[in-house]
Amino acid sequence: MLIMLPYIRVIRRIHNNSQQIIETEEYLTLYEDKVVSANDHFKMEDILDMSYRPFNDRNGFLYFHTIRGLYSFHLKTDPNAFMTIYKKIRLTN
């Protein structure tokens, strides 16, 4: 494991005719050869690019552009260290 990045997983469900929104903190874990989330894993060669788009002072989305499509992760922390390490790995491979 090289670095971990917390992200927010949002679950919406209906209970007693009202919508409940449950936020849980999960982690993206970056290894030399893959990135692992709570629900998925991505081989390093399957990730084509990573980008980040803030939508206010504290929140934003980290996007994985992969051969399987686009994956987004809701962040409340700065992903620059995570993305820098990812890019260094991609350059050496």
pLDDT in tens, 29-80: 999 999 999 999 999 999 999 999 999 888 999 999 999 999 999 999 999 9
Contact 15, 40 (CB under 8 A): no
Q: How far apart are CA 62 and CA 53, in angstroms?
A: 7
pLDDT tier, 91 (very low <50, low <70, confident <90, very high otherwise) = confident
**Long-range contacts (CB closer than 8 Å, 24 or more residues apart) made by 9-16:** 9/38, 9/39, 9/74, 10/74
pLDDT for the residue 65: 97
Q: Is the pTM of this model over 0.85?
A: yes
**Which tokens go with 75?**
């962040």
pLDDT for the residue 57: 82
User: Which domains, and CATH codes, for the chain?
Assistant: 3-92 (2.30.29.30)
Q: How far apart are CA 29 and CA 34, in angstroms?
A: 8
